[in-house]
A and B are shown apart, each in its own frame.
Chain A
Amino acid sequence: MDQTATRIANASAIAAGEPVLEVKNLTTEFPMRTHTLKAVDNVSFTLRYGRTLCVVGESGSGKSVTARSILQIVDRPGRITEGEILFHQHLTSKGLEGAGTIDLAQLPPRSPAIRAIRGRDIAMIFQEPMSSLSPVHTIGSQIIEAIRLHDGAAKKEARERAIELLRSVEIPNPEHAIDRYPFEYSGGMRQRAMIAMALSCSPSVLIADEPTTALDVTTQAEILDLMRDLQEKFGMALMFITHDMGVVAEIADEVVVMRHGKLVERGSVEDIFHQPQHDYTKRLLGAVLELDEPSPKRLEMRARKPLGPPIVRLKGLEKKFFMSKGLFTKRQDPIVAVGGVDLTLYEGENLGIVGESGSGKTTLGRCIVRVHEPTGGEIHYRRANGKEVEVLTLGKSGLQDIRREMRMVFQDPFGSLNPRMTVQQIIGEPLVCNGETNARVIRDRVAELLEMVGLPTQTMERYPHAFSGGQRQRIGVARSIALDPRLIIADEATSALDVSLRTQVLDLLLDLQERLELSFIFISHDISVIRYFCDRIAVMYRGRVVETGDTLEVCDNPQHAYTKALLSAVPRPDPRRRKMHQRHRYHEPAA
């Protein structure tokens, strides 16, 4: 396309590394009921042509607010109180004659001046690809609108450019894909479409706010790959916000580490990863690197105490979801969430189940405790007295007995605790439901459990919203061990937590395993967590287990093609070992 060609020619006229956007001493405040919260506190950095700046930090560190401040789209009542955001318009490829440096911080948030810059010069991609695309318009019409709004191009020309853009973000068959609706796209395709839209006016600066967080690892790898290719092609400056150090190592040129709204450290990706200066950066990296290796505590525990006999055996476990038959609709084919899974868990073992979203791993976990009724197969559970029972044939009271021994820890630390109950009521609930009536006994037991999970006992009168995510997850763990279980099924128990908290929670679980002789089924999409915590791993793909084996063996020498693709897509927290380009891709063999 001509446009693209001109664009590339223009871009190459500007030397890579030229500063295009400078943020100086930026402070953004949110007035609260009692005090003012400085969400961004005196932050400075520079975005350069053809370079990627990664802003990294844990949740609540002010990364997103920084990005939003640049475009003046901070949620009310937040506002920029100090600092400059210098945008060097004369240095951009669109640099008009006479255009100079603009201080974006001075522009009113609703002024036409800032509106002209948004999208045209500085574009943004958001985390949630579903909610940032309009569901009632086709992908094409949304991109075309963006092009016409800023460039005033004719309809036909805009459409051609939109197709060109979709092709450049590697959407297959763009001539047809352009007339599809967002719901017809997969998550990764939607994010590609978002990127296409952001690129529609060939911006000089692209801000990506956690664009891959909601995606699976393999999709994430594709998107990261794509973004780097596009940057090489178009030469724009990229500001990439993420909490994942692996992603940072993979794509960053420069890194800004943020914490509590303050800039902690700034430097090249090499320096940050190999010579971190600040303690916090070291800690952050430490947590990531720690997760890269198996837990030493676990290895030591296994060496001391060998695994016992099988505690759970799954035989051909199957779960189909039948779409409800409406009055006027035809019966549809059932969806096979879990299709014939055979697995064995030994006593004292941690079995990891890994897979991408939709692989059926959560359903599998829930079938074992019969939250979902399996539609076929067998679950054999060996009780403490050595007698084996078939869980699927149990009646109500038998099932309740089993559920005392098999407990669950949930993913969402917010949704899994009843907001209307105090911590004491939440943790005491399993005791109450299993016939404990003495309030004093319950209180003492709850205090003991809180102590075990490392929370102060005086917190038991509090409601869950007073706790942070990590603390809530501890409460969830305390609830699950209240009845002295033998098996815990942890469904993505650490996924909602920041990296530094993940190791803490995993160590807590290992600690409890030692004290209470537990076995774990640990469901996760995160290979590093599994490698740290699990002895054995089962890889799930489309409802089936494609590979099982010792964690290290599978991680180092995967046999199945899908496992290879999955493992090679995981970004490594080491900028010297970038490998996205050499990754495997898995295409399901035609049936």
Chain B
Amino acid sequence: MEHVAVARVEDQERLENVTFGMWLFIGSEVMFFTAFFAMYIIMRNAHPELIHPHQLNVRIASIYTFILVVSSLFMTNAVNASKEGNGKVVTQNLLITAGFGAAFLGLKAVEYMGEIREQLLPSTNLFYSCYYTMTGFHGLHILIGVVVMLVLAFRANRGDFTKTYNSPIEVCGLYWCLVEGVWFFLFPILYLV
């Protein structure tokens, strides 16, 4: 009985430590993207002639936003299910979220190909240089998230997570919300104004 109580306390402590570590990581990621936003604002001011509102595909970008917001709903479902020890629901929700992430990446690839076909490359001008850098890094974060979710879905299906041990799912949920939060700034700054 005492062993069980000790194990629970250890699990709770591990979750708190892991969550705190993840928040520190999120902080560093926010600063990473902050530098990009600062760079973009400086570039806009230095070369206003390169920026034309709505020069990128706003319709596709709105779909990206929708995809990310819906996917985060499924991600929170996965996290809540993991707290209840429901591995099947966790697996389903993680797979759906990963599917949305893959859809985002697929659409992004289509968008990139269209731009490359029109000879709008990173070397075209400073705007496209910033655009590819910012969306490229964001896409890379999505790709990492999708891979991690697939691994976690496999592990959840295997029964690796319990009511007391679910910190990887919790941390993955935080990461996915970070990716969504960054997009809330990228979308208007690059696509709308």
> Do A and B assemble together?
no
